[in-house]
Amino acid sequence: MSLDVVRILMLTRGKRLLAAAIGFGEVSIFILALGQVIVGGLDDPLKVVAYAGGFAAGNFVGSIIDEKMALGYLSLQIFPAAGCLPEFINKFREAGFGVTCIKGQGRSGERTILFVLLKRKDLNRAIDLLNEIDPETFYNISDARQIHGGIFPGKKKGK
């Protein structure tokens, strides 16, 4: 199941060949494990519980592996209060993040929305900045499947 989690994540990030290779290994292990459970007969509840426990543990371990790998990119949309806007822009740019400002219309009037594309491994640093500036700020984080270009912390200018 850990492989299943990683395989699905690779698919959602457009890494089809790697996902196919992981799927091959995953199904091979699945067939061997299921064969052991079925050969002994499904009337042994301990084998069924052990198999189900392995399935659950695999999901848990797979999510930890994904978190540690932190592959891919995220899109962070920030909806700051007007008084905090310059501080958000400056602090995020000083930290090396690219920030794009867009005017929008909210229920209570015009708002400026900040868009920040970031590597998943930089998410905690971005959230720390958000909380440092204004912990009450509304924001949204979503997966960015594919990107081209951009400004990221640690990236050399002109490359």
d(CA 6, CA 110): 41
The ranges assigned to domains in the chain are 2-69, 73-144
Distances in Å between the Cα of 158 and the Cα atoms of 26, 31, 119, 137, 151 are: 41, 50, 19, 33, 10
d(CA 100, CA 102): 7
pLDDT tens digits, the chain, 159 residues: what are they? 778 878 887 777 777 888 888 888 888 888 787 777 677 666 777 877 877 788 788 878 877 877 777 677 899 999 998 888 999 999 999 999 999 999 988 888 888 999 999 988 899 999 999 999 999 999 999 988 777 777 888 765 544
d(CA 101, CA 80): 11
List, for residues 47-90, the tens digit of each pLDDT value. Answer: 778 777 887 888 788 778 777 776 778 999 999 988 889 999 99
d(CA 150, CA 157): 10
Domain formed by 73-144, architecture: 2-Layer Sandwich (3.30)
At residue 142, the 3 state secondary structure works out as: strand
Name the pTM for this structure. Answer: 0.62
